[in-house]
Each structure stands twice: as structure tokens, then as C-alpha cells.
Structure 1
Amino acid sequence: MSNVRYRLLRSALGMAAKTSAASPGLERSMRHLLRVAVRTPHSWLRFTDITARDGVILRAHLYQPRTPGPHPLVIMPSSWAMNDLEYLLPARRLAAHGHIVLSFNTRGFWGSQGLVDAAGPDDVADVSDVITWGLTHTDADPSRVGILGASYGGGLGLLAAARDERVKAVGAMSAWADLTASLLGDDAPRRTATVGLKVTVSLTGRASPSLTAQMDDLLAGRNIEALKAWGDARSAARAVHELNRRDTAVFLAHTWGDSLFPPNQIIDFYQRLTGPKRLELRPGNHLTLELSGILGRHSPVWESATGWLNDHLLDRDARDRTHESVYVQARGAVPEEHHSWQDVAPRSLTLRLGPLPDGRLGDLLERPHPDPAAVTLHAGTKPSAGGALLHVPRPGQAPERTVPGQVLDPADPASAAWTSGPLDRDLILRGAPRLRLPVATGPGRAGLVAYLYDVAPDGRARAITGAPCVFTPGPGVRALVRLDLQATAWTVPAGHALMLLLTGSDPRYTTFNAPGRLVHIRCGAEATLTLPLRE
């Protein structure tokens, strides 16, 4: 695209984003401007309205190749709080490869009618209705239908692919496969994620009463079992057998640090698929990798997704050549290609949590300590430290206040930490560290948040990964809590230390410990941290 057209398109997208919901007439003008801006010799663009089975009108745009058909049909549902213009440039690139591309504004957002129900039955049915419209109004080949989307559009695409037998290939980027695990994993409601969803739907959409009630419950931490049922009904992970039965080709791209849909749920989903599949994991947060492609710039993840659809919808022979593969990239490291997820981390290292003789700072040991002891965590009290950056003062040394982040106080009764000491070689982490803790507490729900840190020799600590865990062992009963931290790709350099930090709260999660809650952790052979490693 020429620089003039790119500037015109960027300007039009900005104006459309500010005005389309408020002024339908101006939105039509913007869409005409966009149609002129992205005119290409290989395809033509038009905007249209699609009527869903319940009469709701969905706004959409269609790219159709100028070459004779039939062509594959690719459906692109818009992301949360976005409209169909989000995919204008990625759809244009797909059309250049020979696909008919139909991108639609999901119901309840912007100019599409209806209410937002967060991938409810009507939302999923809309994808099938859009497929039917595309097959009826174009020369698309009904045997070559695919879906591609990011975030909300990706999650909807997985659900629709599991329910609509016409879908042969699907690509989901920064999406969820298990909504329960994403927003309510380990029974700990994600406060900041829910707040973000609630604010954005209020700005560009119209939430259904049901969705509003579910988000209120998530923020209050109540009706947990009902929330699980709500999330399960919106999770392609519960219908993976349908994808496997039809041998649907599934492409999944995600980031290690996705704060909305954490990576473990997408990795678990990938491992349960038996048909053609590919998983790509890169550093970043939610939608950070897809944004450049949406803006028309170079994007490896969009190139991979486009290649997947080309292989499975355009090249009939490629389907047999691409059955299973995993792409892994750590920050600053050479990308890795593996045949399966099991090949990513072929070995593991198990460390034991030792007693805490010096305040609340203990050792991570390769062998059990001969004198196991218990530590009591004041889980109902706000901890002095946690989060992405910490400073860990050395014994007898005053903390450096100039270091970014919070200062770890070893005497803080609301937290406890264990360190490995300086490593004699690089520790290459690949996958989800697993924590096992023997705990006891009083009646009712209790919980812990675990963080794993890379601690430099000067005490600067950077969070590698973490996760919450909620449990109800019963008064006076000791239970073994099992917690998988979120998967990561991280190298802890030689000379650095590994540190495990446990606290009773984190602002990202709805509070799960009542004031005064005590959690007793027994250190020793049963208290372990298992690290997935590469050589």
C-alpha cells in the first residue's frame, strides 16, 4: 500500500473509531473512504449487513478475489469492544492469497444490533449464520471454510468450529479455549481482567443482563459454582471431542504473559487436540503481537496464521504434511521448533522448601531438610511486596530505595520466601512450574498467591511467572495443595538466584482470605517446586 493510502486509512480508522457508534451516517461515510483507501488489483471490498437467525443485524465487510472461483471462505469475528474494521488490513492480505474473507462486527458492539453475552449461544450461532451468508452470496467453496480471529474473535472461532461441521480450519490468537480457567482459574476470580472487560463493553457495546450479573459475581467472588458452569458453556475445551472427531485443523498463537487469557489453558487445550495442530508461544501480553498486523505492519503471528489457512484451505496436499508442531520463543533467545509440547522441556528439577530460620526467608533445596518445620502465613493481611519487580535485600544490608518495585521485607508475616542461592549454570525454564504445599487453615475458603522470581546479584528481582490457588481443607485438616504456575520461557543466568514468594493476596484477584486468616505451611519433603527444563 502506498504511503498516501496508508495515511488515509489510518486517519479513517481513527475517525471511525470515534464516531461510528454515535453517528450511523458518518460511519457510512467512513466506510466509503476505507473502501477507496484499500482498493487493490487482486480483490474488491464491499460493506454489508447480515441478518442473524433471530433478526439481529450484524455489520460486516467482504473481500472477494478478482480471480475466478470457487475460493475458500474465511470468517473473521471482531475482538471484544472492536468492530469489523479491526481486520480490514489482515483480511485484505488473506484475499490476496485467494480467500474470500468475511469479517463481521460481533453482536452488541458498535453498529451491530443485539446484546453482548460473552460468547453465549447467540454469539456462536452468529458465526454459523455469517458462514451461511457467505456461501449464499459469493462463489465460496462450501468444502473449504475457515475461521480466524484474535482475542474474543479467536475464542468465538474455536467455539463455532466445534459446533459447525462446515469449518475445516480455525486460527485463534490471544484467545481462550477455557473461559473458566481464564477468569476463574483455581477458584480465584480475576479482578483486573473482569474490570477491563466491564469497562470496555460499557464504552462500545451493550451488555446483556446475564453478562452484567456474571461480571458482578466475579468482582464480588460469589456464586463460584454458577460462574464455573457459565464459563464451561463458553469453552471450546469442553467440546474438543467435536474438533477431534472431524479432524479440524487448529492453529493457536499465544503469549507467555497474557494477563487476560493465561497460557496454561491454551497449552492444555492444544495437548488434547488429535487433528492437525500448531501452537506458537512468544513473549508479550494480550494482543501485543497481533497489533502490528492489524495496523498493516509486519507481524510474524499473522503470517503464521495466514500460512496455516493457506495450507489447509488452498493447498490440499499440505494437510498431510502439517500434523503437529510447536514454536517456542523466549525473550532474546533463538526461536525453537518442536514436534510436540512434551519435547519443549524434556527434563525437570524438583526443589524442596526448607525451614525458615532467618525471619521468613528459607532455602530451596535439592534434598529434603532433615528437620522439617512449619511456617504460618498471615494470609488475611496485605503483604508488603509482590508483583513484577522486587528488591531483595541481602542479610544485614539496607534495601536500595532507588531500585524499581517493592522491597521484600523478610520479617513480613503476610509473606514467605525461599531462594536457591546463586546458580552455577544457566537454568533454562520451559513450561509450567509445579508447586506442592501441605497446608492447614481454619474453616471456609482460603488462598495463596505464588510468584517465581529471577534475582540478580544486586537484589533486583523480576517476576518470571505466578498463579493463585484457593482451597478449603477444613478446620484442623492438613491438605496437599497442587498449583501449576503459568507456563513460561525464561533463562535464569548463572550467578542469579531463583526465589519463590508466597502471599495471601494480589490486587489482580478478588480477595479470597478473610481478615485474620492464617495458613500453616509445612516445609519438608512434601513441599516441592518442580521446574520444567531444557538442557
Structure 2
Amino acid sequence: MALRRLFTMFTVAVLVAVTLTTSPARAAAGTTGFKAVEITGDGGVALKANVIAPAASGRHPAVILPSSWGLNDLEYLAQAKILAGRGYVVVSYTPRGWWLSGGQIDTAGPKDMADLSKVVDWTIANTATDPARIGAAGISYGAGISLLGSAFDSRIRVVGVLSGWTDLVYSLYADQTRHRQSAGLLELAAQIVGKPSAELTGNMADFNSGTDVAGVMAWAKVRSAATYLDRINANNPAVLIANGWGDTFFPPNQLVDFYGKLTTPKRLELRPGDHAIAELTGVLGLPNEVWTSLYSWLDTHLAGGTTSANPIYLKPLNASAESYPAWSAQSSSTTRYGLGRIRALDGTGLLGGSVSSGWTKTLPADRDTVASGGVVLITNGAAAITGEQPKIWLPFVDRGRAGVWAAERPSSVQRIRGIPKAHLELTGTEPTGTVVAYLYDLDAIGNAKLITHAPVSWLSGSGSRGVDLKFPATAYDLPAGHSLTLVVDTVDPLYYDENASGDSITITGGSYVDVPLR
């Protein structure tokens, strides 16, 4: 209870600070100011909301903003005022089960979809909205509801997906590995400021215990826009997707895959940062690149604007922004780096050359190293703010617990663009297990900056196997004279691992890493 009060007091303090800068008395010229309303959702559930609109007469385009997981309709006050000043009716609402809205958390399920349609109904009936020009957008939970909603309500003509998901199964179980910290933080927020349904509580209990995986996946699939891709394509909304390279809640590969299958007007933007970090200053009412991009997208597709910009916008981790006509245009080749025999002198193998055989590297299955993906939100969030990737000193990686392979140092910059992949040949494995792979930028004195990382698990069989993993998409310039370095261990606090104490995992020849280069 004390934790709930602390969380509530902190959130209210932040929202009050935003409210003071966006109150009706300070409303932008030409707007009505804010009005708190209650909208009747599906089954009579009360949804708390606020509305602000242009003061000018006539019909206007509208934007509906469902709030993020753990927050409420006050979240978007600053952006609602800006959008109203740009000529939009803006309705922000708190989804069912959160704060003062009624009902229980549906986790972007069928009830949330029905609620969104009820909000559209209310907006058309109670504001000066043009029914043919309605958009939905939001951050995180609001993004997911908006995108899913466009599959079920064809009146939604534009969608803004800011730090959202397209495949909740992938978000929870990418490469069969349960994402521990991100799911735990979402569960904690629901317990503190929400009213979790029995369905949510039961599925999270199964997720945490690793039981009824098929059941949890079925529940998550219903809440994935990828499941309804054909419907979204048929309804043809214009979809903007913006996310962070290091999003620990909704890693970007799912978005890249979904974007590639969309046939609607579409745009994909990826920037440094973790979940919702890139949009944060905009929520506080400060100038923000993501929100500016959303304005442009709305203006183009709801207000008669035009654009000639390339649909792919990428801001690399350590280079200037780039744009491309298609995802595939960013990389021109793929280099395969074979993993070689570990040298006895320094416990490091060669990363590069042809794929070799005749060597092994055995790892304990229950021992961590300093190689790490960091802490959810904090590590990649700080990197986005400072412009510096998280780093370790490579000599501190215990070679008794990890395999380390370093490439020769190139004489020119290597521009990594896209989704690196790794194939690891394993022998002597138990029926369940996990390995975690990290790609680092290693300088001449041992400092290693994290480029990207990924876990992979297996849940059946024993003996020899090959495992394939896809690293999260990245854009990184490896400087001349630096070494691309692979570290493989078996434990990372970001994830649940499937290893048993005392087990071991042996990596063998035939293993390699594929790196897409510009």
C-alpha cells in the first residue's frame, strides 16, 4: 500500500506540473481550452477523458489519444494543446481498468477495441469532428490500442504508433526467451494504479512460472496487430511507427517485419533509446522530434498536406540521421564472421574468416559475466541522453564463464545497418537452456561499447543442436581500428533463462555471425 501511495503521489506531481503549463487559462490561442468528460465505453464502463478543440467554427480533423500503461488521460495535456492549436479536435482518455476509469484491465483486448470505437462515436457526436478525418495515436499502450483499433474500426484513417508493439508474443517470448524485467515492470504498474483482470493476473503468473506457454501465447496473439494485418491493410489507414533501437519492452524487429508487410501509406522511424524515451520531452511540452514527425504525418493524411520524404528514417546510435526509400536499401552487403578456435594465451578467439571446425568452448549454464544488456529503461535510456553506448572493459569478462571472439581491426569505418544474425552450433545440451550473445565495439585499450544483444532459448530435446538468433535491428558505425567483438554467456538479468544449476553448454565449430553493412 505504501508503494502504491508513493507511485500515485509521484505520478500526480508530474501530471500537475504538466497541467500548470497547459491549463485552460494558458490554452493556445484559438482553442476551446480543456474540458473533462466521461465517455461510456463498452458494457457501460465509464472512461475518464478530456477534450480540447479549435475555437474556429466548422468541422475539424480529430485525434484520439489513449493513455499509456500506468498513466491516465492527463498524460497528453501538453501535446493535446499543441494539436488543438494546429486545428485538431483532441480527445484523450484513460483505458478501462486504469486510475478512475471503470472496469478491469483488458490489455488491448476485445473490450478495449470496443471502447475505442465508443470513443470515436462520442467524438463524432459531441465535437465538431469531421467523421472522415479521424486519427488515433499514443505512446506504448496507447500506441498498441490505436494500431489494433484500426483493424476493427475503419473510421480510423491515421495511426501514430510511438513505442508500441505489433507482436505481443514476440515481445514476451522473442527467440523462446521470456523477457523478465520488462514484463515485471508492466505487472507492477498494473498492481499499483490499475485493476488487473483475472485473465491478466493468470497469464502473468503462467508467464513468470514458465507454465502454459501455449495459453499465454494465444492470449498475447489476440492482442497483436500482426494477427490482424489483413484487416489493417484492407482498412488502409496511414501508419506511422516510431521506436527506439534499444526498446527493452518492444524490441524493433517485430516493427520492421510488420512494416514490411503493410500495404497502407506507412513510415518507420528508429532512434536511440529505450521504451518511450524518445517521446518523453514531448510529453512534458518541450520540442521533440518524434512528436514533430507525428504532426507532419497527421497534417499529410488528415489535413491535406503533402510530403516527399523517404518513408524510412533512421538515427544511428553514433552517426547522423539517414533516410531510405525501403528498409532493404540501408545495407548493401552481408559479411559472415566465422567463430574460430579460442587462444590459450588470452582466452579469445578470432571472429572472422571462413566458418571453421575442430574446436569447442564450454560455458557453465548458470554463471553471469559483466557482459550485460543493462537495466530495463535505465541503461538504453541513459545512452540516448548522453549519446554514449553502455560499455564494459573486455578484460573483465571472465573467460571461464563466456566465449569471446574478436575480429581483426578494419582500416576504414564499418557501417552496420540492419539485423545481425548469429548461428551457434551446440553440443551436450540439456533439454532446456539459454545463451545470450552480445556484439561489442572494442577499442585498442579494451573498452567495449554495446552495439546490440539478444538471448535465445530452447525448450525441448538434448544433445547437439544449432540455434539461430536475430539481434535487434541496429545502426552503428564501427570506427576504423576498432574490433567487432562477440561475447556469449548464459545469464542476463533482463531475461528468465532456462538453464539448470550445474549444467554446461558447449559451443563448437560451424558457428558464425552475419552482419549487414552499408
Q: TM-score under structure 1 normalisation?
A: 0.87
Matching residue of 1:95:
84
Distance 2:279 2:270 in 1: 13
Structure-to-structure mapping, 1:97-496, within 5 angstroms: 97-315=86-304, 318=306, 325-358=311-344, 360-369=347-356, 371-379=357-365, 381-387=366-372, 405=392, 408=395, 412-472=399-459, 474-476=461-463, 478-496=464-482
Output the amino acid matched with 1:423.
Answer: P
1:62 maps to 2:66: no
Distance 1:127 1:65 in 2: 22
Q: Structure 1 98/410 Cα, relative in aligned 2: closer, same or farther at 3 Å?
A: closer
1:435–1:484 CA contact under 8 A, matched in 2: yes
Q: Which runs of 5 or more residues in structure 1 are unaligned?
A: 1-13, 22-26, 390-402
Instruction: Give the CA deviation at 1:265.
Output: 1.1
Secondary structure of the structure 2 residue equivalent to 1:75: strand
Distance 2:202 2:394 in 1: 38
1:532 maps to 2:516: yes
1:218–1:510 CA contact under 8 A, matched in 2: no
Distance 1:77 1:314 in 2: 21
Output the amino acid matched with 1:123.
Answer: D
Distance 1:225 1:322 in 2: 44
Q: Which runs of 5 or more residues in structure 2 are unaligned?
A: 1-7, 375-389
Distance 1:183 1:473 in 2: 19
Output the amino acid matched with 1:314.
Answer: A
Q: Structure 1 463/114 Cα, relative in aligned 2: closer, same or farther at 3 Å?
A: same
2:334–2:516 CA contact under 8 A, matched in 1: yes
Distance 2:42 2:14 in 1: 25
Cα deviation digits, residues 433-486 of structure 1 (max 9, x gap):
11112223444221211111111111011111011111246233x332111001
Secondary structure of the structure 2 residue equivalent to 1:73: strand
2:369–2:398 CA contact under 8 A, matched in 1: no
Instruction: Give the CA deviation at 1:66.
Output: 1.3
Distance 1:20 1:531 in 2: 42
Output the amino acid matched with 1:387.
Answer: S
Q: How many pairs were matched up? A: 493
1:20–1:111 CA contact under 8 A, matched in 2: no
Output the amino acid matched with 1:43.
Answer: T
Secondary structure of the structure 1 residue equivalent to 2:331: coil
Instruction: Give the CA deviation at 1:404.
Output: 7.3
1:41 maps to 2:48: no
Secondary structure of the structure 2 residue equivalent to 1:280: strand
Distance 2:167 2:147 in 1: 10
Distance 1:387 1:32 in 2: 40
Distance 2:488 2:176 in 1: 17
Instruction: Give the CA deviation at 1:237.
Output: 1.1
- Worse-matched range after superposition: 323-332 or 157-166: 323-332
2:394–2:448 CA contact under 8 A, matched in 1: no
2:348–2:406 CA contact under 8 A, matched in 1: yes
Instruction: Give the CA deviation at 1:40.
Output: 2.8
Question: Pairwise CA RMSD of aligned residues?
Answer: 2.5
Distance 1:408 1:517 in 2: 25
1:516 maps to 2:496: no
Matching residue of 1:18:
12
2:371–2:397 CA contact under 8 A, matched in 1: no
Output the amino acid matched with 1:533.
Answer: L
Distance 1:473 1:215 in 2: 22
2:373–2:453 CA contact under 8 A, matched in 1: no
Instruction: Give the CA deviation at 1:385.
Output: 2.6
Q: Structure 1 509/120 Cα, relative in aligned 2: closer, same or farther at 3 Å?
A: same
Output the amino acid matched with 1:248.
Answer: P
Matching residue of 1:393:
none
Output the amino acid matched with 2:71.
Answer: M
User: Identity of paired residues, percent?
Assistant: 35
- Worse-matched range after superposition: 408-417 or 145-154: 408-417
Secondary structure of the structure 2 residue equivalent to 1:65: coil
Matching residue of 1:395:
none
